[in-house]
Chain A
């Protein structure tokens, strides 16, 4: 059940009507049932995995809270990590690693048996596993008191608004909201309606439409030339941002309507000035998770430059692998790790340099955007061989077809409201700035986006990209 489907509209209306009429405890039970139903619509068999993760982490956290014995606490944490990462690793990486080992064996002249299981990846498993793990680790670190009621904790893990594609919420932020009374307010509804509407616009008007060009280019059905590759990469950069940030906006919007405050996951990442800035703006919930639970425990930047670079690379490679079991993701992670390391190195040397001018800032933004685009080429390509072929075509096959012109027009036309809103958000530093505009520009914005939605929304029910992660 996609957020951009009529089924979901019907589902949410029913849930919201019932929710508004119930007291807190009943509200939580309703949301839990609704969330399991929502997830079960994809594949009810995988509900058992959420239930397993929930039960393990709830039990382990209570044990961690009660115990003062460090060895027992470590053992409990190990149990939780082993089960969570075991399930995640089995479903997500088993076939990948076995397949890679088979390929290696074949290149060495062996004839290995086919051990791949052809597993189906449970939708959103990486998201809820990380969310649940962060809770256990926080309790282990005594940064958080465990949940008292199992159902409250189960709702924290499975809340349908952000269950399948994040943001990866922290218990410190969301669990408290689950346990305390919530109010449906006019302001919350207004904000929620705008966020959902804006997310819907980004997803079905921009993301899904530009995806057609990106798909054609990356699948090779369009001849690779400078024009087609550059435009294909731009299209994918826009697609992945509009698709993923749309889901986050819609999740926040739905949460706001229900009285929850779901964390911000994107802050205009294509306005980033450097790699560190990019990761403070892109998929914030994952990058902050990796920072808090991987980079800092590895030592962060406290153990000298070499160790810092290693930590950055390791964190980004694992971050890349989190996205999926393919070598392209590993290389994408390596590329971003390298960018961060180089930036760290350069920043260290220019610590006392004067702040950049407006031109300098614009130049940095442009450079970072193109660096991110290069990353997307690695990320989206079907294989590393395709990456090579596309880069060769980019350099050796200059050309710009009439089809490229038409697509450039389409991409620019559809994304105009996006850039207008992002510039406003960036200048004000306020993600809800469109709501604060005065009557006329607000009306123009609503009318334009609604008109584009009616005329150009892609109704093909294309799934969100990050569902596969």
Chain B
């Protein structure tokens, strides 16, 4: 029976040796200048604009150049190894080394420099694509070691928070640093899965705004929204709250999200693609379409709010786990009851809002959160202060920020813990 022939690598390796003898000197000759050029050009390529950082000698560039220059030596060492011990060809050394190289890339991307380069590149290209801009700002703030060392208010939530709260004004009014950890589409499932980005300092106060709209907006797990922010602790709480049948039916999404939670390369892949799609300029033409899509999604969400009771229940259960877990990792969780435009269509919203209010009140009784219901907010947001059904306009933003600041400035009630 015919079988794939045993690889005979001898002729090819002889050719490699010959090629290295002839052209190996090109690596040091071209490698070091190329490395220095890459080093100098990095910030320019990342930010899409000439910057001061492009001038002068760069030690990182020299390191890249030296690595390129040394490549023929490593190549020759590999050839020598396989000639000296031919049996090693049968061992999976190359796949293992490739895996190590990927591990190195993963580690490099996780460093402050790697995160800064990557997300600044995304931010520079985000143009009018609000989601890319919000996620990159989120990740840049999360990667800032100086900010992480300062305890303050961690503001987490969906676009209602992004467009509803003026971060600078809130910081000024509360006298505390405000860490923004909000992005469009961060509904409870996304919020819970992102937990790892909120618990960076034990003295933080986590500030959320949740409403009936958040409870019913998602009709299923949405991996594309969870992936860029997935964390191990968050995913554990989200999936731990789901029923086995629910998980079994979505096992493909779970593999995807599990990979994102542990692997930064996978977590960032949507934005790596974004960089590839916009290599030389910001996303301009696609912006309108992207924003249109968001509007269409919002419109669909208005109509189908709370359509899947299984997801509503999952949101509540996972939030309960999230609150229980996070209450031990930060000083306080403040949940500001959110709201929608009074002209919001349909009766579902009232029912969901009541459910959310009761759920948060229960959580407060258990001592995991401080709940600020609408009745205590002293906040009036009539129909004309809303930009659309869920987002406030500039005047509404100002009022909401002030109300938020008042709620955060209020002294925390005496601790009540469930027995």
Contacts and interface: CB of A to CB of B under 8 A. Distances in A.
Interface of A: 6-7, 173, 176-177, 180-183, 185-188, 190-191, 256, 259, 261, 402-403, 405-406, 409-410, 413-414, 428, 430, 432-433, 435-443, 446-447, 450-451, 454-457, 459
Contacts of A438: 9, 12-13, 16, 75, 78-79, 82
A441 B276 contact: no
B74 interface: yes
Contacts of B255: 6
A173 B272 CA distance: 44
A456 B94 contact: no
A414 B273 CA distance: 11
Best-buried of B74, B78, B81 by chain A (most CB within 10 Å): B78
Given A438-B16, A454-B265, 17 more contacts: A6-B255, A186-B90, A190-B92, A261-B1, A261-B2, A410-B279, A432-B7, A435-B9, A438-B12, A438-B75, A438-B78, A439-B78, A439-B93, A440-B71, A454-B269, A455-B269, A455-B272
A454 B285 CA distance: 27
Contact of B256 (A414, A433, A447, A459): A459
B280 A409 contact: yes
Given A439-B78, A443-B94, A261 B16 contact: no
Nearest to A402: B281
B278 interface: yes
A446 B93 CA distance: 11
A450 B74 contact: no
B168 interface: no
A182 B102 CA distance: 35
Interface string B235-267: 000000000000000011001100000010110
Given A433-B12, A436-B9, A439-B93, A456 B276 contact: yes
Contacts of A441: 16, 75
Contact of B98 (A176, A409, A430, A450): A450
Interface in B24-76: 71, 74-75
Given A185-B3, A406-B279, A409-B280, A439 B94 contact: yes
Question: Which residue among B2, B82, B98 has the maximum number of chain A CB atoms within 10 Å of its CB?
Answer: B98
B12 A256 contact: no
B95 interface: yes
A403 B102 contact: no
A183 B4 CA distance: 12
A435 B99 CA distance: 17
B101 to A, nearest CB: 4
For the residues of A in contact with B, the DSSP-based class is: helix
Nearest to A183: B3
B350 interface: no
23 contacts: A180-B1, A181-B1, A402-B280, A410-B276, A410-B279, A432-B7, A433-B12, A436-B13, A437-B16, A438-B78, A438-B79, A439-B82, A439-B93, A440-B75, A441-B75, A443-B93, A450-B102, A454-B102, A455-B265, A455-B268, A455-B272, A457-B269, A459-B256
A459 B79 CA distance: 37
B375 interface: no
A15 B33 CA distance: 53
A173 B2 CA distance: 9
A183 B277 CA distance: 46
A295 to B, nearest CB: 26
B3 A443 contact: no
Nearest to A256: B4
A440 B80 CA distance: 11
Contacts of B273: 455-456
B75 A188 contact: no
A436 B12 contact: yes
B94 A176 contact: no
A451 B102 contact: yes
B272 A456 contact: yes
A194 to B, nearest CB: 10
A343 to B, nearest CB: 32
Contacts of A432: 4, 7
Nearest to B93: A439
Given A6-B252, A410-B277, A438-B13, A261 B4 contact: yes
B16 A405 contact: no
A440 B78 contact: yes
Contacts of B93: 439, 443
Nearest to B73: A440
Contacts of B98: 443, 446-447, 450
Contact of B74 (A413, A440, A446, A451): A440
B313 interface: no
Nearest to B74: A440
Given A186-B90, A447-B102, A436 B277 contact: no
Nearest to B284: A402
B97 interface: yes
Nearest to B97: A443
Contact of B7 (A182, A187, A405): A187
A168 to B, nearest CB: 17
Given A176-B1, A454-B266, A454-B269, A405 B280 contact: yes
B285 to A, nearest CB: 7
A181 B1 CA distance: 8
Nearest to A193: B95
B280 A406 contact: yes
Nearest to A424: B12
Nearest to A262: B4
Contacts of A430: 12
Pairs A-B, 9 closest by C-beta atoms: A439-B78, A446-B98, A447-B98, A447-B101, A436-B9, A440-B78, A442-B94, A455-B272, A443-B97
